[in-house]
Homo-oligomer: A and B are copies of this chain.
Amino acid sequence: MEPMNGNDLLSRRRQALAPAYELFYDEPIHIVRGEGVWLFDADGRRYLDCYNNVPSVGHCHPRVVEAIATQARLLNTHTRYLHEKVIELGERLGAKFSEKLSACWFVCTGTEANDLATQIARTVTGHYGMVVSEGSYHGNSDLVLKLSTSSYPAKDRPDWLAAATAPDTYRGPYRAGSEPGGEEALAERYADSVAEGVAGLADRGYQPAAMLVDSSWDDNGLFVPPKGYLARAASIVRAAGGLFIADEVQAGYCRLGDTWWGHERYDVVPDIVVLGKPMGGGHPVAAVVSTPEIAAAFGEKMDYFNTFGGNPVAAAAALAVLDVIDEEGLLENAGEVGRHLERGFAELANEHPIIGDVRGSGLFWGIDLVSDRESRQPLDRAAAKHIVSAICREGVLMGLMGSHGNVLKMRPPLLFGRDNADHALEVIDACLKRHAS
């Protein structure tokens, strides 16, 4: 088949798809094939994928493709009939968590999972209030969009919602190195904001059903909270009768290196965990995992059924992803290549005053671009977009994040190697040099 002309596609797309859909980069790219860490456009041009976390075991991993194809040929029904695969998936996922967490619900998207997790917390606690982080994103259903303070208009924020200050120790109100008492004091300052949020809810007549936290503060711009913050935040909410929900859609599945889940890094066992994006290697599958007690309490009051959630093909895809991560040692790879990247970013930051901060671990990094290092003034949105588009033209795909849209986002498939890391670092280096000149 003749590859389509990109401009024709753009105009056809404008006709057929609603305009709410936004394309990446100044010049949208027309990708037709993927393999491992590589994507290829219609002209045969190769791009190093430093952005996509959904194909976390690599684009078109043969094991995942085969699992999907084999199961799709055999059977694809739903959870109203008995089927081994969804049960095996529940068992194997449960084994990846603290033993308290073992009851699974399967859904199709992170949005559905966060929506359900919130419904569970409200049903089980009998409370209606919710606490989230300022500037975070959890999905786009009506409910979950309201919980997504990065996207929902602040003026329309419901009165049952409290947004705690996100633990941004670089640009937030309490900064690393500037707080007497060190990290512990920082953790306390940010946790105070959770307590204020809970108190504000009480003033408005609400008790908290839960605090919902993205364990990587991805949309915020990727924060690494001060040690002790998350455990403090959870205990404040629990003392007020609420649950602690870890949104692991971004941070989970080995993304941060060395631990399977983001929350494991912060000495807290959530009451409910939400999983999504990388779970099926591209297949739409997501999950909520909780304790048997919470699952039973919810089950007494509510039925739940999701037509496609946990169907045999979704389960087969998700099982293949678990196999690949374990057998190919991708958790260890994320940790090792992460440390390699950390050294590389430190060198880049020495070279380029435009880099104000580099945050992250494993295979999830944010390069915070500034117009002035002293004031930490974020680089303006258009300039950041220009840089990420220039990096794309050099064949490396990255994204932008953060409330100022100034943080370069690196979040490649988990099989990303040292050589890929070096390649990306070189391209970023060259593009920042060119930007500076």
Interface residue ranges, A against B (CB under 8 Å):
4, 6, 9-10, 12-13, 15-24, 28-34, 39, 52, 54-55, 59-60, 64-65, 68-69, 72-84, 86-87, 89-91, 94, 102-106, 108-112, 115-116, 118-119, 140-143, 145, 151, 276-277, 282-285, 288, 290, 295-296, 298-299, 302-308, 310-311, 313-314
Residues of B within 8 A of A18 (CB): 103-105, 288, 290, 295, 298-299, 304
Judging by beta carbons under 8 Å apart, are B24 and A81 in contact? yes
With contact pairs A34-B76, A68-B68, A87-B17 given, residues A82 and B142 touching in the complex (Cβ less than 8 Å): no
CA distance A313 to B34 in the complex (A): 13
CB-CB under 8 A for A74 and B60, given A284-B284, A303-B151: yes
Question: Given A69-B72, A74-B33, are A80 and B141 neighbors across the interface (CB < 8 Å)?
Answer: no
Residue of B nearest to A54 (CB): B307
- Contacting A20 at CB < 8 Å: which of B55, B64, B142, B304? B304
Q: How far is the CA of A287 from the CA of B76 in the complex (A)?
A: 20
The answer, among B60, B77, B112, for a CB contact under 8 Å with A112, is B112
Contacts of A81 in B (CB 8 A): 23-24, 28-31, 39
Ranked nearest first, the 9 interchain pairs of A and B with the lowest CB-CB distance are A16-B90, A69-B69, A19-B299, A142-B143, A76-B282, A284-B308, A18-B295, A20-B304, A30-B82
Which residue in chain B gives the minimum CB-CB distance to A299? B19
Q: List 19 A-B contacts (CB under 8 A).
A: A4-B84, A9-B87, A16-B91, A17-B87, A18-B290, A30-B83, A31-B81, A33-B75, A34-B75, A34-B76, A34-B77, A60-B75, A68-B72, A69-B72, A72-B282, A109-B307, A109-B308, A111-B112, A116-B140
Chain B residues whose C-beta falls within 8 Å of the C-beta of A31 in the assembled complex: 75, 77, 81-83
Q: Which residues of the other chain, B, contact A299 by a CB distance below 8 angstroms?
A: 18-20
The chain B residue sitting closest to A311, CB to CB, is: B282
A17 vs B304: C-alpha distance when bound (angstroms): 11
Given A10-B82, A13-B82, A69-B69, is A118 in contact with B142 using a C-beta cutoff of 8 Å?
Answer: yes
Which chain B residues lie closer than 8 Å to A276 at the CB level? 307
Inter-subunit contact A21/B108 (CB<8 Å): no
Q: Given the complex, which residues of B lie within 8 Å of A10, measured CB to CB?
A: 82
Asked if B83 and A60 make an inter-chain contact with CB atoms under 8 angstroms apart, the answer reads no
Q: Which chain B residues lie closer than 8 Å to A82 at the CB level?
A: 6, 9-10, 13, 23, 28-31
With A17-B79, A17-B103, A109-B308 in contact, is A72–B87 under 8 Å at CB? Answer: no
A74 to B31, CA, bound (A): 10
A141, B102: Cα distance in complex, Å: 23
A370 to chain B, nearest CB (A): 26
Chain B contacts of A103 at CB under 8 A?
16-19
**Most B CB atoms within 10 A — which of A69, A80, A82, A94?**
A82
Closest B residue to A282 using CB positions: B76
Smallest CB gap from A40: residue in B: B75
**Contact for A17 among B30, B86, B110, CB less than 8 A:** B86
A94 contacts across to B, CB distance below 8 A: 16
Which residue of B is nearest A78, CB measured? B54
Residue of B nearest to A12 (CB): B87
Asked if A284 and B141 sit within 8 Å, CB to CB, the answer is no
Please name all residues of chain B whose beta carbon is closer than 8 Å to the beta carbon of A308 when the two chains form the complex: 54, 108-109, 282-284
- Which residues of B lie under 8 Å from residue A83 when comparing CB positions? 30-32
**By the criterion CB–CB under 8 Å, are B68 and A140 in contact?**
no
- Chain B residues near A305 (CB, 8 Å)? 21-22, 140
Contact B17 A104 (CB under 8 A): yes
If A23-B80, A28-B82, A119-B142 are given as contacts, then 9 extra A-B residue pairs at C-beta distance below 8 Å, sorted by A number, are: A18-B290, A18-B299, A20-B105, A55-B76, A65-B69, A68-B72, A69-B72, A69-B73, A115-B141
